[in-house]
Amino acid sequence: MTTTSTLVNNRYRVVRELGKGGFGATFLVEDTQLPSGKRCVLKELMPIENNEETYTLIKQRFEREAVILEELGNVSLQIPTLYAYFGENSKFYLVQEYVEGETIGVRVMSQGVMSDAAVREWLTGILPVLACVHEKR
């Protein structure tokens, strides 16, 4: 497990965990090799099974996903830019642009249920992104 004292890939210092799921976790990190200490998102994928065949398959899919994410980040300003991807200690990592903001869950908790017009506006804003992602499979 990655902790706040961890330096991943001898470069990325974990600031805090952003989320966690069944296959991995997402962290806010600082890039220690940049003078600004630029903040990024580090996505950590942990293969569930510990066998060579599964590991190889996951590695291939991970590399394919990294190629697609890099391409998507270059075609839409609404998709975070991919900065790096690598494997370390039997885990796979993606480093992406950090976009500050609140989640829909946080917004609803702080402002209440969105109006129909606000939901339509929000959906209209993300439909082009979904179309772009779908086009790239």
Residue-wise pLDDT tens digits, 72-126? 888 888 889 999 999 888 889 999 999 988 888 888 889 888 899 988 998 898 8
Long-range contacts of 51-60 (CB under 8 A, 24+ apart): 55/90, 58/92, 59/87, 59/92
Return the pLDDT at 42.
96
Report pTM. 0.81
pLDDT above 80 for 3: no
Mean pLDDT of 126-136: 85
Return the pLDDT at 44.
92
Q: Record the tokens describing residue 15, joined without a space.
A: 């600031």
Question: pLDDT of 17-73, one tens digit each?
Answer: 998 887 789 999 999 999 999 999 999 987 666 778 888 888 888 898 899 889 888
Return the pLDDT at 54.
81
Residue 84 CA to residue 93 CA, distance in Å, equals: 8
Q: Record the tokens describing residue 115, joined without a space.
A: 């109006």
Return the pLDDT at 2.
55
Coil, strand or helix at 7? strand
Calculate what percentage of the chain has a pLDDT beyond 70: 94
Return the pLDDT at 98.
94
Return mean pLDDT, the chain: 87
Longest dimension (CA), the chain: 51
Whether the Cβ atoms of residue 82 and residue 94 lie closer than 8 Å to each other: yes
